[in-house]
Amino acid sequence: MSECNKKEVTCGNCQFAKSGALNWVFCEPIDAAIPHDFDGERYTFWRIPTYCPKSDSEVVKSEDRAPKKSWVFKSKSEIPKLGL
């Protein structure tokens, strides 16, 4: 599959992912929590939930985690704040 046809498998690179209170990350358009982990320094994103508002042609939605090699890691400063 070419790079331009590659679908996202985690929320880690989504423009809708915003950090909120208590180190939660939210999908801004639907105000819902995004599956992730926060270890005090970085966030780990491992899937896209089935309730994602993006088109199935853009993303792979799943109840299961993506392969670990596809996980996205971001520092707190890399994720925009909710409502800004």
> What contacts 13, CB < 8 A, 6 or more positions away?
72
How high is the pLDDT of residue 2?
41
* Mean predicted confidence (pLDDT) in 7-21: 95
How high is the pLDDT of residue 6?
87
Tell me how far apart the alpha carbons of residues 45 and 71 are, in angstroms, rounded to a whole number. Answer: 6
CA neighbor of 24 nearest in space, from 14, 33, 11: 33
Domain ranges of the chain: 3-78
pTM: 0.88
* Segment holding 32, helix H or strand E: strand 32-33
CA neighbor of 53 nearest in space, from 22, 38, 78, 31: 31
